[in-house]
Structure 1
């Protein structure tokens, strides 16, 4: 078992190491992080069972870290150690599932009790997860007995909906007394790799597990049925015909069952009541719209109806649009500076959080606008070369895809990282293409002009500009009619002519200043090129 200590003060991390009896708690590896951002990287890589964190840190606060752990590392238990006796901090700790809130200075007994409690909770949940997973796999080895195609036809085949309903009546799936319905969509996330991996990479098996969990609760009162909807992208739908019951209470019970089995809570889009089966198409659209317009910053909300999902009711400020940061992104890409690129990505996510409303609909729009921005910038910069550059960037996108706007969880960290990666790849691609298109001889000549006093060699210059020695030799012959070493010599002699105009400089000084360490050799080369010795040349130009 692993534990992670997060605090921006090394002495506090050392104190925690000394105070906790790690062997007694069977914790064999203790990791450390100096801030929240560093901690996230370690949690992703090492997956510790326990995190002991400070609340106030300069980079990545404890509240942000708690929110991230709660959303993306739900199995990890955490304890807060803080010097602030702040009720709001305690409330945030409880809300995000923290085991304990301990004030500094740390008491050995108190922190060891908290660690013991956290370890016991982690082990208990680990055993329950293992049991539930085995049970779920057995449950899903057999396809559901319900006619999913018939149930789906109630929604997407209005012409045959009445006939499908009669068959479902005859099969006893839906009671004859059901005249009204309410449709619920369960949010699915094909990009949730950790969850899908637990089912051997089989997303279909995962969907069937969720359907069966839902039906365990629905069958208790025979008030509805859950099924895999086949009328479009992967969806799980629930048709309720006993619409008198509190839908929120039912969903909370279902969600608790899903959490006990999968360690994830799902989001549910809920329609208003309509006629069965005629109202189902509109009900499905309404439920899908509720999920699309849910406020992702409200992490604790899992039930979404059209009225509760209206962003207009959440604040007076208009939503963030891509035009607000487009120029900042353009300048960041042109700069190529990693810090500027990071600041541009951070600005967007900070603005998203500040406005108080982020919906999957907004993120879809943002993602589309960001990719359109990239396409336009590449075409402006590269012209005919744009298509190949865009193809290369799109291939890179498949390796690090954007977070799904409609996924189970939302993280500003994940969208900030995606934005930074998009900007960085774009900047690198444009820079690489520009360097490739640039004539290297222009840069080589400029380099010689700036470094002629040094002992320049053909091998050194070739390595500097990633070209071969033969290329440089050939190009100097073609463009200047002389070889590489003669060109450097001509530059040095030209500089020497200028320096000879200063009567206060000795020939030995001038020789050193232009890269000749032997004044006699300097005089020999000078006379060969100019036809006069340096002394005679100076006598001509200085009366």
Structure 2
């Protein structure tokens, strides 16, 4: 709450500041003015709830100020502080609604009592004003619902659409000569908490305000009508039957009006022209599609038109491409989650964003697809890693999602950084959950050795094996050094050579066959490794072991 002290003497203004217990009255901002004219400008700009003013000032006296406040700022309460015990001044104070008339020198008890009365009166009146405003809004909301139901039926009820149109024409909602139309959807952002807070969290009041603003530009010239569409998720629709005017110019004016009132600009999905009411269902699909396929990287575009067939095909290709792109980052995500390394997780999240924005087009539809892919990846990895414990782990992760939801895919604004941070947090939580649920009795090295023994013929890499057993490459490398005194690749080589020694005892197998069977695709390289480990060539070894 704000208070304004008006006096042409600075020492008096200072005295008032010191005498009033502002915190006790919950007044957190104190303004000052040196005369009545200056006070009027401050009141216009700052709208204080309380004015403490002198009666006699050189420029703009107290009576003039009281008269102006009473006429133009009626909700403002004022207290007069004067050095003149003049009945006429007191009478003028009472006549203009003043709370109290205090004589100088000012006493602390007197002025605090007056301020308390003024604040209480202002709060009481403010509550009443708010209550009346809410009642008025609610009443006006109920009134148009019948019309909105009829307008919605034009779109989604083909059986009754002609009947609904006749009623709307009879009630002068739609002109009788309206043969064609455009349908426009105004995007409402369920994720915009900042805007919702201005309406006390009541989305219905927000929709009501937007509809009213739109109709201020449509109704006077009978160009169309804005209304709540009741046939699906919360939507605001504009039925435009004056299709001769530039839609772009009209929507730009409406959007400027919304910005002046709400300090936000909206996105509009605009259909092609069609017959009324027969093609309204198709037009709604077009408008919705235009919003879902808008390029979020083009922040300055607010009007989104239905695509032509060729453009539609390109948009579909972009969406399909976005789904394919996830495969490019999936292995990065997997390895980052398994490692649990913060830098690896951050790099994987950034890689995802780089791939997402590489084509210069990011649409709400694409984001929805990428989010679904990310969650599917998480589910598969958990089930692969935890088996029977997967359901409980996924339940924990989904619970965490509620506290850290993904950015709204179809919001007014778009931030690559927000999506990067979300993907980082998702992978980090997944990594922590997997790590916390690892079976303690399990000996990863024993399982790795068993796996190598069963798959030595394959091209085994340190990264692939570490990934399969959800440990880091460093862990695998360190354990092999500790347990066997050799590195990972030398261990695989020794397994292959031992298998080859057994196969060389079969005289019917050629060296090239044996080489291939134990995982060497080059017989010369096989011979070189064999001789390095055993001391003789495979051919000489075969002679040695021959019966």
Report the TM-score, using the length of structure 1 for normalisation: 0.54
How many residue pairs match? The answer is 310
Aligned to 1:158: 158
Contact 2:293 2:315 (C-alpha < 8 Å) held by counterparts: no
Distance change in 2, residues 1:233/1:318 (3 Å)? closer
Whole-angstrom distance in 1 between the partners of 2:170 and 2:208: 24
**1:347 equivalent in alignment to 2:345:** no
Whole-angstrom distance in 1 between the partners of 2:316 and 2:232: 31
Aligned to 1:238: 238
Distance change in 2, residues 1:398/1:215 (3 Å)? same
Contact 2:183 2:284 (C-alpha < 8 Å) held by counterparts: yes
Report the aligned-residue RMSD: 2.9
Contact 2:319 2:365 (C-alpha < 8 Å) held by counterparts: no
Unaligned 5+ residue runs, structure 1? Answer: 1-132, 444-543
Structure 2 residue corresponding to 1:360, chosen from 333, 344, 364:
364
Unaligned 5+ residue runs, structure 2? Answer: 1-129, 446-547
Q: What per-residue deviation string (whole Å, max 9, x for no partner) do you get for residues 422-474 of structure 1?
A: 1111111101111xx3139999xxxxxxxxxxxxxxxxxxxxxxxxxxxxxxx
| Aligned-residue offset at 1:348 | 1.4
Contact 1:139 1:209 (C-alpha < 8 Å) held by counterparts: no
Whole-angstrom distance in 2 between the partners of 1:423 and 1:371: 10
Q: What per-residue deviation string (whole Å, max 9, x for no partner) do you get for residues 224-275 of structure 1?
A: 0011101111111000001011000011011111111111111100000001
Contact 2:182 2:274 (C-alpha < 8 Å) held by counterparts: yes
Distance change in 2, residues 1:318/1:439 (3 Å)? closer
| Aligned-residue offset at 1:346 | 1.1
Where do residues 289-308 of structure 1 align in structure 2 (5 Å cutoff)? 289-307=289-307
Which range moves more in the overlay, 137-146 or 378-387?
A: 137-146
Whole-angstrom distance in 1 between the partners of 2:305 and 2:133: 29
Distance change in 2, residues 1:283/1:255 (3 Å)? same
| Aligned-residue offset at 1:293 | 0.6
| Aligned-residue offset at 1:284 | 0.2
Whole-angstrom distance in 1 between the partners of 2:319 and 2:171: 53
Whole-angstrom distance in 2 between the partners of 1:237 and 1:317: 26
Where do residues 31-430 of structure 1 align in structure 2 (5 Å cutoff)? 140-141=137-138, 142-143=140-141, 145-146=143-144, 147-307=147-307, 310=312, 312=314, 319-320=321-322, 321-430=325-434
Whole-angstrom distance in 2 between the partners of 1:316 and 1:411: 19
Whole-angstrom distance in 2 between the partners of 1:316 and 1:340: 28
Q: What per-residue deviation string (whole Å, max 9, x for no partner) do you get for residues 183-211 of structure 1?
A: 00011111111111111011111111111
Q: Secondary structure at the match of 1:182?
A: strand
| Aligned-residue offset at 1:144 | 6.2
Whole-angstrom distance in 2 between the partners of 1:213 and 1:299: 22
Distance change in 2, residues 1:261/1:156 (3 Å)? same
Contact 1:292 1:359 (C-alpha < 8 Å) held by counterparts: yes
Distance change in 2, residues 1:440/1:354 (3 Å)? closer
Contact 1:272 1:283 (C-alpha < 8 Å) held by counterparts: yes
Q: Secondary structure at the match of 1:257?
A: helix
Q: What per-residue deviation string (whole Å, max 9, x for no partner) do you get for residues 375-426 of structure 1?
A: 0000000000000000110011111111111111111011111111111111
Whole-angstrom distance in 2 between the partners of 1:393 and 1:281: 39
Contact 2:319 2:366 (C-alpha < 8 Å) held by counterparts: no
| Aligned-residue offset at 1:365 | 0.6
